[in-house]
Structure 1
Amino acid sequence: MSSWLGPLAVALVIVWIGVRHARASRSETLLDEHARRRVEPRAGAAPAPLSVWREANRMFRAGEEEGLLLLAEIGRQVPRRRQAVVTAWLAALRGGVSRGLDAPWRTAVQRELVSHLRPGADFWPGMDVVAPGAILVDLDLSGCRVNQVDLMGAVFVGDARFEAMTVTGDANFAGARFLRHAVFSEALFARSVSFGLAVFAGNVSLRSAQVADQLVFARAKVSGRADLRRAEVSGRADFRHVRFGGRALFGEVVFHQDAWFRHAWFRGRTDVGSALIGEAAEFGSARFGRRVMQ
């Protein structure tokens, strides 16, 4: 009896081990196939959305126009990605010359950006424009409608145009350098706007602009003409220590609250004719290089 039970038991063990090895091998094969399908889509199949996003960003960072256009298409197809697309474009504009982003490339990025910030068929509402320290070439955001704007310390090469722009959040241009003219005529700022410590190499215009909260120009320097005619500021207006190199035009401006001009220096002709100040107007230690027209 025992003479055949032993070999039978051994045979059964060998069969059992073989079955286990076969099953394990098949499981590993299935797992490998599953992993391969996840990372290598079938021919003709659309890549996963995450893969498209990563590839678009990679091409865009490499300075390829196809990446710029692919990001725009992602924004059109997936609205929740729009702010991320805008942020990616603005990040490129914050890069220095060492990244190889020359003026034509910056202009192309700005053109695509503006096409989605200006109301129209391809408008993306509610976008934040946050790009402190960006280098912007002939930027024209005229007629655009955005939420928050943070261009603190940005450098504007060429003219910077913001005519009839609407900003529903705070706007910050503090410390920015405008190397030519800056035009904010008829712009609407639904909250506060700051140009503190900004440098204007040319003219700056806020003619007929509206500011629903405070306007800050403290310690700014304007080499050309400053035109605030018919502007309206609902909050406090702070022009302390501002240097006006050219004419300073405040005709028919309306300041609903305090207007501070302490230590301001008006080197050119100053016109405050028909200006309305709702509360206190302070000109302590202000200097006037030429006559003041009232």
Structure 2
Amino acid sequence: MPRPLLSPWTVPLVSVVVLAAAGVVGWLLWSWIDSLTLADPEKKATAQLDAVKISASVVVAGGGLFALYLAVRRQRTQELELEARHAELRHRQAELSQRDRTQDHAEQVAETNRLHSERVADDTKKDADARRVTELYSTSVGQLGSDHAAVRLGAMYALERLAQDDPPQRQTVVSVLCAYLRMPYAAPTDTPPGLSDQDHLQERQVRLTAQRLLHGHLIPRYRGQDGATYSMPSFWAGIDLDLTGATLIDFTLTGCAVRTFLADGAKFTGDTQFDWTTFNGPAQFNKATFTGPTRFDNVMFAGPAGFTGSAFEDDSPFGFGDGGHAKPRGNSFSDATFAADTWFSEATFTSFTSFTRATFIGPAQFDKITFSSHAGFTEATFGDIESPLRHKSLLLGTKIDHSFRSATFAGVADFRKARFADPIWFTKATFGETALFDNALIAQAVVSHHSEIAESLERIQGVDKTLRPPGWRLSSDHTTVKGLRDTWHTFQRIEPEPDDRQPA
């Protein structure tokens, strides 16, 4: 609360009072001196002078007291004003804080409302997109059953566009395309009654389109004109293909990458190409039929690979295609890598077959396989040459070995420069023409391990304790080979006895 102002008459009045008090004091002292009987005039004058001094001192003291009062009043006034300012500042700060809290609350409410509106809008959009996707998917799937090829083609392209725009739908769309390819399909010579040649040709084009769509979206990289490798924006990663029992025409997955590939019992007609394909998971071709040239060159089988009971029946003649280029024939797994378990048991190859420079890191089973023509395993590697006998077993002849038991090689069996870093078995294998193991090598670790358990093998009925194919033996000495670990034995041809040789 502010102090009242001093009246303008306060100072004159105080001055008059002080002067009056001094005058009264001086008059009383003067009167008192006059009442004294002082004989000496000089002493009386001195006393009167002292009375005047005392009166003046009263005036000075009164003025000092009044000045002190004014100073105290001024100090107190300043303190009160400062306290009032602090109170006003606190009040303003409180008002500002309240205003800020109010504004923050209003902003929070506005932000909450905005987020809620956005969520509602997003939910609405998602619902609309989901309905659109569902409607498009349902419509397209329904159109795949149309009698008109153009409608079926349009449905496939609609599904492709749906999958490209909506990644979570990609596996579903791929599964639909695979299901279409798994549906029964008659070859031109087996056209069912009521199906015209034109209808058959149109259905062929529809199936080829489905295959091309799959191929086009499973290529992860491409090489630019500058030689650099770039990612494909249209690549669909982590895709599983189920083509079990499907009939596929000139099927190709060249340069593709898939997670799993199931084609048990499938029929591959025409040229089949899997060059440079990567199978990140299981690849199953059990009891599949390949009726044309088949190529698996530079393929990576990262998971198990199954070709049990498969039939490679290429009987196409050697010839030249457009531009004078040689037409591929036979079957080729050149430079392929089998990183896990591999099965070719009971498979049949009717024409030239090449596993040149193929690498079998995991166990490879070729039991009861039949090669009716040339079988080339030149420079193939069985096992991990960086760590021979990595899969060391307590007993040779278990599933971790590589086996050609009861295999039939009707033509040339070419294993020249092959590398065997794990046990290899040719028990009861039949070589109808020529078996070539020149410059082939087998690791000393394999031979040594075999010798350690030879007695155990002799006690097992039906187990051949040798590590060599018929007509060949292992060298007695073992040497180092440049670029390879461990020491290695070579295969040496067993020459017939002089009495057994045919006359010249």
- Quick one: structure 1 residues 243 and 46, their matched pair in 2 at CA, closer, same or farther if it must change by over 3 Å? closer
In the TM superposition, what are the counterparts of 1:1-294 in structure 2 within 5 Å?
48-62=132-146, 63=149, 64-97=152-185, 102-119=203-220, 120-202=232-314, 203-256=330-383, 258-294=401-437
Could you list the structure 1 runs, at least 4 aligned residues long, displaced by more than 4 angstroms after superposition. Answer: 98-101
Which is further off, 251-260 or 70-79? 251-260
- Quick one: structure 1 residues 279 and 69, their matched pair in 2 at CA, closer, same or farther if it must change by over 3 Å? same
In the alignment, what sits opposite 2:111? none
- Higher helix content, 1 or 2: 2
SS of the residue 1:65 aligns to: helix
Whether the 8 Å contact between 1:258 and 1:277 is mirrored in structure 2 is no
* 1:236 alignment partner AA: P
- 1:47 shift after superposition: 6.2
* 1:208 alignment partner AA: D
Whether the 8 Å contact between 1:126 and 1:146 is mirrored in structure 2 is yes
Distance in structure 1 (CA, Å) of the matches to 2:242 and 2:255: 18
SS of the residue 1:117 aligns to: coil
* 2:280 alignment partner AA: T
Q: How many residues are aligned here?
A: 250
- Quick one: structure 1 residues 227 and 46, their matched pair in 2 at CA, closer, same or farther if it must change by over 3 Å? closer
CA deviation map 1:4-39 (0-9, x unaligned): xxxxxxxxxxxxxxxxxxxxxxxxxxxxxxxxxxxx
- 1:276 shift after superposition: 1.1
Distance in structure 1 (CA, Å) of the matches to 2:173 and 2:344: 32
Whether the 8 Å contact between 2:133 and 2:162 is mirrored in structure 1 is no
SS of the residue 1:61 aligns to: coil
- 1:49 shift after superposition: 2.4
Distance in structure 2 (CA, Å) of the matches to 1:155 and 1:205: 18
TM-score (norm 1): 0.82
Distance in structure 2 (CA, Å) of the matches to 1:169 and 1:154: 18
- 1:214 shift after superposition: 1.4
Distance in structure 2 (CA, Å) of the matches to 1:49 and 1:186: 39
- 1:60 shift after superposition: 2.3
Identity of aligned residues (%): 29
- 1:233 shift after superposition: 1.0
Larger Rg: 2
Distance in structure 2 (CA, Å) of the matches to 1:47 and 1:269: 62
- Higher strand content, 1 or 2: 1
Whether the 8 Å contact between 2:372 and 2:409 is mirrored in structure 1 is yes
Whether the 8 Å contact between 1:172 and 1:195 is mirrored in structure 2 is yes
Distance in structure 1 (CA, Å) of the matches to 2:211 and 2:271: 14
Gaps of 5+ in 1: 1-44
SS of the residue 2:237 aligns to: coil
Distance in structure 1 (CA, Å) of the matches to 2:434 and 2:341: 28
Which is further off, 55-64 or 138-147? 55-64
Gaps of 5+ in 2: 1-128, 186-191, 221-231, 315-329, 384-399, 438-504
- 1:46 shift after superposition: 11
Whether the 8 Å contact between 1:149 and 1:172 is mirrored in structure 2 is yes
**Bigger relative contact order, structure 1 or 2 (CA pairs below 8 A, ≥6 apart):** 1
- 1:112 shift after superposition: 1.2
Whether the 8 Å contact between 1:126 and 1:147 is mirrored in structure 2 is yes
* 2:278 alignment partner AA: T
- 1:135 shift after superposition: 0.5
Distance in structure 2 (CA, Å) of the matches to 1:197 and 1:72: 34
* 1:114 alignment partner AA: H
Distance in structure 2 (CA, Å) of the matches to 1:144 and 1:49: 27
Distance in structure 2 (CA, Å) of the matches to 1:214 and 1:205: 19
Report the aligned-residue RMSD. 1.8
* 1:113 alignment partner AA: L
Whether the 8 Å contact between 1:61 and 1:92 is mirrored in structure 2 is no
* 1:269 alignment partner AA: V
- Quick one: structure 1 residues 250 and 73, their matched pair in 2 at CA, closer, same or farther if it must change by over 3 Å? same
Distance in structure 1 (CA, Å) of the matches to 2:172 and 2:144: 13
* 2:235 alignment partner AA: F
Distance in structure 1 (CA, Å) of the matches to 2:406 and 2:132: 61
- 1:61 shift after superposition: 3.0
SS of the residue 1:90 aligns to: helix
